[in-house]
Structure 1
Amino acid sequence: MSNAQNTQLNSVLPTSSPYKLIKFCYFILALLVVSCGDAKTGNTPKMQQTVEQSETTPEPKSTTKTILCFGDSITAGYGLDDVNDGYTAVLQQRIDSLNLDYTVINSGVSGETTAGGRGRIDWVIKQKPSIFLLELGANDGLRGVALTETKSNLQAIIDVVKAQSPETTIILAGMQLPPNMGQDYTTEFKKLFIDVAEQNNIAFIPFILKDVGGIASLNQNDGIHPNVEGHKIVANTVWETLEPLIVN
C-alpha cells in the first residue's frame, strides 16, 4: 500500500470510538461482498447462454422418410392428457426402438370428415411422405352422411396422393359403426372401405379399432375414443399392416 493510501485510510479510520470502529468494519465487509457479487454476476450471462444453447440446439437427425397419419380424432389423440399416449406416438416409439429411419407425422384433426380431409389434402401431401395412412370416415358415419359421398371423398383423397406423390405407399384404415346406426347402413359402411381398398390396390386395415371398439375399459367416458390402453392396441393393429412396409 502506498503512503497516499495509508494517509487516506488513516483519515477515515476511527481511533476513539469502538462503535465507529465496528461500523467501519461492517463497511469494509460490505464492500468486499458487493465486489465479489459483481464478479459473479459478470460471469452469469455467459453461463446462462451456454446452458440455453445446450438446451435449444437440436441434435442432428438422419431420418429422411416419413409416415403421415391423416385422420380424425382417433389419430389426433382426442381426450388424452399426453399426446405421447396416442397411437401415432406409440408407433414412433416402436420404430425408434428398431432403429428404423422413419418419422411419424400426426395429421389428425378432431371432428374431421372425409369432406374436410378432401379439402386439406392438397396442402398436406406437399410433405411427400413415404407412407400415407388414411384414417377418415367415422364422423361421416356417425352423422349419417350418404355412403356415396363418403366413398367419393375417400377416392378423391387417394387420387390426390397418387397424383402429387406417386412414390407414396397408401394404407387405408377401415372403420365400423355401432349397430344403432341401422343394420343396412352399418353393413354398407363397412363394405365401402373394403371396396375402396380393392379398387385402388392399396394396403388395408379392416378395422382400426379392432379389439378396442365397444370395450368400455379401453375407451374414454364417451365410449368412442380410445384411452391410453386402447391406443396401445390401436398401434398394434396398425403395426400389423405397417411393419411389412418399413422393415426389410
Structure 2
Amino acid sequence: MNRREFTITSALGITGSLLLCCTEKNKIPFKKNQVIACIGDSVTFGGGNGYVELLQQLSDKKRPDLNLTFLNWGKSSETITGLTEAGHPGPRPYLFERLDELLEIKSIDILIFCYGINCGIYGKPSQKLFDSYKIGVLSFLEKARAKNIKTILLTPPPLALETVPVEVDLTAKFTWLNPYPNYDKEVLQEFKKTILSLKHDSLLASIDIHTPLSKSQATCYDKDPIHPNMQGHQLIANTIIENLAF
C-alpha cells in the first residue's frame, strides 16, 4: 500500500472514536516518570536544541519530582499528507512510514504532535489538501489510541513572511523556497482550525502555537520564515508549559 492509499483507507476506521471524548480545558496533569515523545518536522527537531529540549529543562526546573523525560522525534521535511513539491530533493519523509516502528521501540505515555508547515507543500489551498491533512491527523490519533497513548496536538507554526520576506516568482512552481504568498493565511490557518476543532478519545489537549508566534514574528524569526529562532522555540515551550499542570 502506498502512502496515498494509506491516507484514504485510514479514514474508514476513524469516525467511531471522534465523539467519544471532548478535550479538557483544564491543565494537563502528568504522572511521575512519564515519557513524552515530541514528534514533528524540522521545527520540532530544532537542530537538537529547540523547544523539546527547553521543555525538558523547564520540567526539570519546575517539577524535578516528576522525573519526566521528553524525547525529540522530529524529522526535517516530514509531512503527514505524503506530498512532495516539484524540485524537492527526493520524496519528503512521510510520518506513517516510521511511526509504527517508533512506537514499538520505546514505551511512550504521551505524544506531542506538531505538523503542518510542510504538509501543504507551500502552495495554494484546496479542499482535497485540507481533507488530506485532517485524515493525516486523525490517522495519527488512531495509531496513538491503538497503543493506549495520550496525545497533545500543536497547531502548525506560521510562515513568517512579514518578518522574513521571500521574493516569490508567481510563474514558477511553489516550493519552500518559493512559497505561495498567502500560504499562511489560506492554508496554515485552515490547518490550525483543524487542530483546534478535532475531538478524539486519545486527545488530552490542542494547543495554539501559531497565534503567539505570529504576534511575535519580529523577535521569533530571523534567518528564514519557516524555522523559529531560539526566542521562538522558547515561546513554543512556554506556550506548552502554560497548558500543563506544573
Q: Report the TM-score, using the length of structure 2 for normalisation.
A: 0.63
Alignment of 1:91-106 (within 5 A): 91-97=55-61, 98-99=63-64, 100-106=66-72
Tell me the matched-pair count: 174
- 1:190–1:64 Cα change, 3 Å: closer
**Aligned equivalents of 2:186, 2:101: Cα separation in 1:** 35
Extract unaligned runs of 5+ from structure 2. 1-31, 83-93, 160-180
Computed over aligned residues only, the root mean square deviation of the Cα atoms, in angstroms, reads 2.4
Higher RCO (C-alpha 8 Å, min separation 6): 2
**Aligned equivalents of 1:185, 1:236: Cα separation in 2:** 25
> Corresponding residue for 1:193?
195
> Corresponding residue for 1:71?
40
- Aligned residues: percent identity? 29
> Corresponding residue for 2:212?
211
**Aligned equivalents of 2:107, 2:100: Cα separation in 1:** 11
**Aligned equivalents of 1:217, 1:159: Cα separation in 2:** 37
Cα deviation, residue 189, structure 1: 2.7
Which structure shows the higher helix fraction? 1
- 1:231–1:177 Cα change, 3 Å: closer
Q: Could you tell me whether the CA contact under 8 Å between 2:192 and 2:210 is conserved in 1? A: no
Extract unaligned runs of 5+ from structure 1. 1-62
Does 2:142 correspond to 1:159? yes
Q: Which runs of 4+ in 1 moved over 6 A?
A: none
Q: What CA deviation, in whole Å up to 9, does each residue of 1:69-88 have, x standing for no partner?
A: 0111111004xxxx33x111
Partner-residue secondary structure (3-state), 1:203:
strand
Alignment of 1:85-234 (within 5 A): 86-97=50-61, 98-99=63-64, 100-114=66-80, 115=82, 116-126=94-104, 127-144=106-123, 146-163=129-146, 165-166=147-148, 168-175=149-156, 177-178=158-159, 180-181=182-183, 185-196=187-198, 198-200=199-201, 202-213=203-214, 215-234=217-236
Q: Could you tell me whether the CA contact under 8 Å between 1:133 and 1:172 is conserved in 2? A: yes
**Aligned equivalents of 1:209, 1:237: Cα separation in 2:** 10
> Corresponding residue for 1:24?
none
Cα deviation, residue 200, structure 1: 4.5
Q: For the pair shown, which has the larger CA radius of gyration, 1 or 2?
A: 1
**Aligned equivalents of 1:143, 1:200: Cα separation in 2:** 31
